[in-house]
């Protein structure tokens, strides 16, 4: 087992990883930007090293500084969390080249599955259904020539990255050129790769993902699905498990497809295979996230398996101690992402409590919410024996939560879970803006 791990992240996920390490008897090193000098993960870690200025480019994306910090403190491994460098195959390769274990898949696997075009072609080869679309496009002229064959509406989609960047919806041929140029430029700026392709834009579908754990000895399990359909501008807002419309037959087919995809990629560690689920029960592979997901805690709630601890064990070449037959998914869990809509000092903070209610966050009284990073303040997570009880528990927790000093989306989350579409479980990827617009 590692004796010391460097956490190459900030905020709530850094806190989450540090807690897991403490419970495993592993020392931790927090790296931080100048803006995060007084943050909770920096206070919690056994050691702390400043790696740069306030911006992400100066600090959390500064690969050389992070590697230097790991070597200076003799950390045997780096946990990247999510975001920042978590899916950067070049950073993973840099860790490998310096004999530092990257807690995640191998760099070659990250590179191949992080490229959506390559991943789509691999899925086609092994018989996993993909959304109809094209290969990488050379230019706008080729996009226009192939667009009619794909059919409108369609997506111009970057082959690299995620988080909704490098994606544009195109409703007609007249919109195609601008969407192509904008998506490509955005992807180039965000990921250093401007390659794009066309994909059929499926409507009234659900975004469902399968959580995978795979060790270095050929053992693999799937910990069930998460429904991530409730999104604004391609950003997830609320996730739940199990999916409200999932049947046992569809779940088994989707789990089989997810594990088939991971095995074909020679995948190890924690990963997520993402699908679009159509109303008729058909589903389509869209991508594989080669990292820990923001929404992993709800899977931990229903499975009883600590995904972060198993990431660390797998990276230490420890085999999984359970098989698929041992996985028992019980109850219902959901997560609301609490986001800031302004910056400033937290004047007053009250975190809700109760059985199986927790708030994963790095917020503390009088801490500063800075403008340099993602707006998520934390994740409110509840578990109950049924979906109805989970909804009622989440409503109570949201009503109890108080964050003063910055504007947040708590009221919008309340509006969402009180909506008829959410109670009925009849929502899809397009409905959230409609729910939030009601009554305005």
Per-residue pLDDT of the chain (440 residues; tens, 9 = 90+): 999 999 999 999 999 999 999 999 999 999 999 999 999 999 999 999 999 999 999 999 999 999 999 999 999 999 999 999 999 999 999 999 999 999 999 999 999 998 888 999 999 999 999 999 999 999 999 999 999 999 999 999 998 877 678 999 999 999 999 999 999 999 888 888 899 999 999 989 999 999 999 999 999 999 999 999 999 988 999 999 999 999 999 999 999 999 999 999 999 999 999 999 999 999 999 999 999 999 999 999 999 999 999 999 999 999 999 999 999 999 999 999 999 999 999 999 999 999 999 999 999 999 999 999 999 999 999 999 999 999 999 999 999 999 999 999 999 999 999 999 999 999 999 999 999 998 66
Q: Would you put residue 356 in left (φ > 0), alpha (ψ -120 to 50) or beta?
A: left
Backbone angles phi, psi at 31, to 5 degrees: -100, 145
Chosen CATH of 4-103 out of 2.60.120.560, 3.40.50.20, 1.10.10.10, 3.20.20.450? 3.40.50.20
Which tens digit of pLDDT belongs to each residue from 110-134? Answer: 999 988 889 999 999 999 999 999 9
Of 10, 120, 168, 291, which residue is the catalytic one? 291
Average pLDDT of the chain to the nearest whole number: 96
Query: What are the domain boundaries of the chain?
Result: 4-103, 106-124+213-224+243-325, 132-200, 331-440
Q: Are strands 206-214 and 220-232 parallel, antiparallel or unpaired?
A: antiparallel
Query: How crowded is the C-beta side of 126, counted as CA atoms within 13 Å?
Result: 17
Catalytic: 291? yes
What is the third-level CATH fold of 331-440? D-amino Acid Aminotransferase; Chain A, domain 1 (3.30.470)
Q: Which superfamily, per CATH, for 132-200?
A: ATP-grasp fold, A domain (3.30.1490.20)
Residue 439 is predicted with a pLDDT of: 66
User: What percent helix, strand, coil does the chain show, rounded to 5?
Assistant: 35, 25, 35
61 SS3 class: coil
Answer whether 31's CB lies under 8 Å from 69's CB.
yes
Which tens digit of pLDDT belongs to each residue from 373-429? Answer: 999 999 999 999 999 999 999 999 999 999 999 999 999 999 999 999 999 999 999
Which CATH number describes the domain made up of 106-124+213-224+243-325? 3.30.470.20
Can you say how many angstroms the Cα of residue 112 is from the centroid of all Cα atoms in its chain?
A: 18
Residue 189 is predicted with a pLDDT of: 86
């Amino acid at each position: 087992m590692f004796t010391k791990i460097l956490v190459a992240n900030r905020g709530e996920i850094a806190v989450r990883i540090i807690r897991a390490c403490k419970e495993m008897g592993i020392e931790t090193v927090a790296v931080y930007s100048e803006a995060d000098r007084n943050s909770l993960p920096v206070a919690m870690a056994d050691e702390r090293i400043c790696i740069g200025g306030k911006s992400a480019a100066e600090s959390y994306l500064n690969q050389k500084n992070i590697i230097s910090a790991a070597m200076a403190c003799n950390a045997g491994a780096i946990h990247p969390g999510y975001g920042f460098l978590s899916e950067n195959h070049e950073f993973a390769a840099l860790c490998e080249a310096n004999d530092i274990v990257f807690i995640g898949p191998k760099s070659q696997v990250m590179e191949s599955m992080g490229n959506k075009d390559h991943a789509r072609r691999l899925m086609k080869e092994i018989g996993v259904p993909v959304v109809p679309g094209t290969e990488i496009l050379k230019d706008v002229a080729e996009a226009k020539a192939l667009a009619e064959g794909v059919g409108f509406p369609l997506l111009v989609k970057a082959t690299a990255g995620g988080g909704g960047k490098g994606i544009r919806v195109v409703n007609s041929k007249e919109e195609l050129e601008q969407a192509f140029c904008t998506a490509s430029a955005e992807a180039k700026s965000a990921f250093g790769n401007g390659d794009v392709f066309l994909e059929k834009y499926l409507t009234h579908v659900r975004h469902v993902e399968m959580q995978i754990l795979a060790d270095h000895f050929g053992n693999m399990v799937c910990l069930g699905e998460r429904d991530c359909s409730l999104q604004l501008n391609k950003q997830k807002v609320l996730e739940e498990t199990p999916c409200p419309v999932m049947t046992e037959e569809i779940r088994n087919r989707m789990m089989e497809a997810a594990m088939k995809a991971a095995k074909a990629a020679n995948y190890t560690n924690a990963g997520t295979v993402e699908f679009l689920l159509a109303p008729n029960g058909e589903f389509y592979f869209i991508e594989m996230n080669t990292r820990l997901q923001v929404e992993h805690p709800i899977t931990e709630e229903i499975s009883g398996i600590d995904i972060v601890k198993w990431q660390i064990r797998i990276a230490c070449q420890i085999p999984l101690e359970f098989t698929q037959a041992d996985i028992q998914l019980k109850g219902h869990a959901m997560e609301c992402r609490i986001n800031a809509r302004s910056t400033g000092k937290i004047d007053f903070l009250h975190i809700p409590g109760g059985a199986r209610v927790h708030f994963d966050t790095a917020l503390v009284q009088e801490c500063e919410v800075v403008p340099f990073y993602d707006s998520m303040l934390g994740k409110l997570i509840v578990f109950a024996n049924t979906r109805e009880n989970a909804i009622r528990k989440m409503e109570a927790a949201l009503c109890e939560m108080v964050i003063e000093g910055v504007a947040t989306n708590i009221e919008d989350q309340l509006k969402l879970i009180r909506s008829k579409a959410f109670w009925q479980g009849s929502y899809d990827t397009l409905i959230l803006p409609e729910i939030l617009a009601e009554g305005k």
